[in-house]
Amino acid sequence: MEFIKPGINIDFIGKRKIALCFSLTLIFLTVILLIWRQGPNYGVDFTGGVLIQVKLAEKESPADIRKALEPIQLQDSIIQEFGERGHAEYLIRVRKTDIELSGLDEKVKKALEDHFGKEADIRRVEMVGPKVGKDLRQKALFAIFYSILFIAIYISGRFEHQWLMSIIMAISLAIVVYVASGFGVSVTWLILLALLVTLGLCWFLRLKYALGAIIALIHDVTITVGAFAITDREISLSIIAAFLTIVGYSLNDTIVVFDRIRENLGRYRRRSFEEIMNSSINETLSRTILTSSTTLVVVIALFILGGGVIHDFAFALLVGIVIGTYSSIFVASPILLVWQGRFSESSKIKKGLVRTGR
């Protein structure tokens, strides 16, 4: 099935500078926002606290529920609608970790019934300790980091047949992480350091496809985190699962474009690299539009009709799919062009020096 007529030639690569400005602006805004907010807005899963699920007789606003909780000093809680619309079921997230869990359900039930004058049903009360929350946050960050690392290794071997270089990169990175851990570096800085080392190794070992794919993945996850920060949404365990799904989706799109570029490089040896990249993106455009649009329909349906439980998860996928499709065309591919220009010029200079006998 083709939406785009064969032979079409849209100049995507020619728009790379506009795309670069757009991406840098979004990333800059994300970084500024995260600094201003002192990091991402982690949920109870990661910060520790108490989760209370309650069913009321009628639908109430979060502001009214907070007011009802004032007598028991829980007015700072985060209230989220839960389950199907109209069922008046809510999640109350309490960020305090020093709260007494025993008898808490009765206190909340009494406070709600006294304020609304109708029966309230406490469905569950769960507590996550601060240590457990910290462990979960570290494991989640490591999950994202290792997924990106193994993707780099796979792409280097799959596209460039440089499995040996991939293994060298993995061993080098393991040594850096081990040494940095020995100095007591925090997990966030450890992952940032490891990502910088990974990008540096990709550049040094000339793993151009891996470099393009990793920069695109970091770009996608960063902008999605920025979308969560600007909409004041929490990052929970389910959102980390959404980030990993975005990484997989974005990579799939990037691999399709890279695969066509590699095929066309062997087929059209007399064409310029920029021309080959443009025709490769145009040839895969039908597939990209078809895949993205069908996936978006499902995710939009989940976002609108899925209810409060998966609302944020669907939002992360919605942003990730749009940004992932954009990055496979306007971020990952232009990295190859920058690479080609950089090393073509250096090889021409070397050849010129050899010819002049220097």
What confidence category does residue 25 fall into, taking pLDDT thresholds of 50, 70 and 90?
very high
Task: Kindly report which listed range (165-179, 216-230, 309-323) carries the lowest average pLDDT score.
Answer: 165-179
The predicted model gives 217-223 an average pLDDT of: 88
Residue 315 has which token pair? 């939002």
Q: Does residue 316 surpass a pLDDT of 80?
A: yes
What is d(CA 304, CA 129) in angstroms, rounded to the nearest whole number? Answer: 33
pLDDT for 353: 47
What is d(CA 133, CA 143) in angstroms, rounded to the nearest whole number? Answer: 15
End-to-end alpha carbon distance in the chain: 57
Using CA atoms, how far residue 312 sits from 45, 102, 144, 318, in Å, is 14, 31, 18, 10
What confidence category does residue 357 fall into, taking pLDDT thresholds of 50, 70 and 90?
very low
Report pLDDT digits (tens) over 67-123: 888 888 887 787 877 666 667 888 888 877 677 777 888 888 888 888 888 888 888
What confidence category does residue 319 fall into, taking pLDDT thresholds of 50, 70 and 90?
very high
Report pLDDT digits (tens) over 273-286: 888 888 888 888 88
Higher pLDDT, 139 or 18: 18
What is d(CA 168, CA 141) in angstroms, rounded to the nearest whole number? Answer: 23
Residue 298 has which token pair? 């499902």
What is d(CA 33, CA 223) in angstroms, rounded to the nearest whole number? Answer: 11
Say what the pTM is.
0.77
For β-strands 49-56 and 78-82, DSSP reports them as unpaired
Dihedral (CA of 157, 20, 325, 2) sign: negative
What is d(CA 126, CA 99) in angstroms, rounded to the nearest whole number? Answer: 12
What is d(CA 64, CA 11) in angstroms, rounded to the nearest whole number? Answer: 54
Query: In the block, which residue shows the tokens 């978006």?
Result: 296
pLDDT for 343: 55
Residue 219 has which token pair? 């770009």
